[in-house]
């Protein structure tokens, strides 16, 4: 009987170690992406400074101020697009989506936003063992319901 309990404990310990390793890898990747975002933001600030320096130099020489700044502004716009893509990558790594209905962050496996009820298109499913987290379950579909939710994230049913 003790051996059976130890075997179950060993599996739980192994699962916890795997989960911790996966989370650590995700955090490292998120850190790398955030570093790229900081680099892009620093580059934007440098380009803005260059625009100011170029404009002032032209102004001092009596020339047209913003002709040369157009390319620098395009570079800034490209950097903002790059930052948005990197931020989207962080959300993907965290397994989060942004609800288009109310801008709430939701876990990527939910079918409906718990705040406004917006329906999400399903993502490809990766099979994992279900775990009992002790959370309140939806009476209709059995999905876990976050505290304060107005709608079930699994089926969209109104939480009573």
pLDDT of residue 2: 54
pLDDT of residue 160: 78
CA–CA separation, 65 and 72 (whole Å):
13
pTM summary value: 0.52
CA–CA separation, 54 and 60 (whole Å):
10
Q: Could you say which of 94, 121, 140 is where a domain stops?
A: 94
Give the CA distances from residue 96 to residues 29, 38, 68, 128, 130, in Å, rounded to whole numbers and listed in that order: 15, 21, 41, 17, 19
Q: For strand 105-107 and strand 96-98, is the pairing parallel, antiparallel, or unpaired?
A: antiparallel
Q: Which residue has the tokens 């406004």?
A: 116
Residue 100: inside a domain, yes or no? no
Whether residue 9 sits in one domain with residue 77: yes
Q: Give the domain extent around 75.
A: 2-94
**Chain mean position to CA 15:** 25
pLDDT of residue 96: 93
Supply 157's token pair: 């049913």
Whether residue 62 sits in one domain with residue 21: yes
Residue 155: inside a domain, yes or no? yes
pLDDT in tens, 124-155: 655 554 555 567 888 877 788 888 888 888 77
pLDDT of residue 5: 61
User: Quick check: helix, strand or coil at residue 151?
Assistant: strand
Q: Looking at the 3D structure of the chain, how many domains does it have?
A: 2
CA–CA separation, 137 and 160 (whole Å):
12
| pLDDT tens, residue order, the chain (160 aa) | 555 566 677 778 888 888 898 889 999 999 999 999 999 999 999 988 988 888 777 777 777 766 667 777 788 889 999 999 999 999 988 999 999 999 999 998 899 999 999 999 887 655 554 555 567 888 877 788 888 888 888 778 888 7
pLDDT of residue 19: 85
Whether residue 121 sits in one domain with residue 89: no
CA–CA separation, 115 and 151 (whole Å):
6
């Amino acid at each position: 009987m003790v051996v059976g309990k130890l075997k179950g404990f060993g599996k739980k310990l192994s699962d916890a170690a795997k989960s911790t390793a996966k989370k650590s890898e995700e955090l490292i990747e998120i850190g790398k992406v955030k570093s790229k975002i900081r680099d892009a933001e620093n580059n934007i600030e440098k380009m803005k400074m260059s625009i100011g320096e170029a404009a002032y130099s032209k102004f001092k020489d009596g020339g047209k101020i913003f002709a040369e700044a157009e390319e620098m502004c395009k570079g800034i716009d490209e950097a903002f697009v790059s930052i948005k893509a990197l931020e989207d990558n962080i959300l993907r790594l965290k397994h989060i989506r942004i609800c288009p209905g109310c801008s709430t962050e939701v876990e990527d496996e939910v079918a409906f936003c718990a705040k406004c009820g917006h329906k999400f298109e399903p993502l490809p499913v990766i099979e994992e063992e279900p775990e009992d987290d002790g959370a309140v379950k939806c009476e209709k579909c059995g999905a876990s319901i976050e505290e304060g939710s107005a709608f079930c994230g699994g089926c969209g049913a109104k939480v009573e």
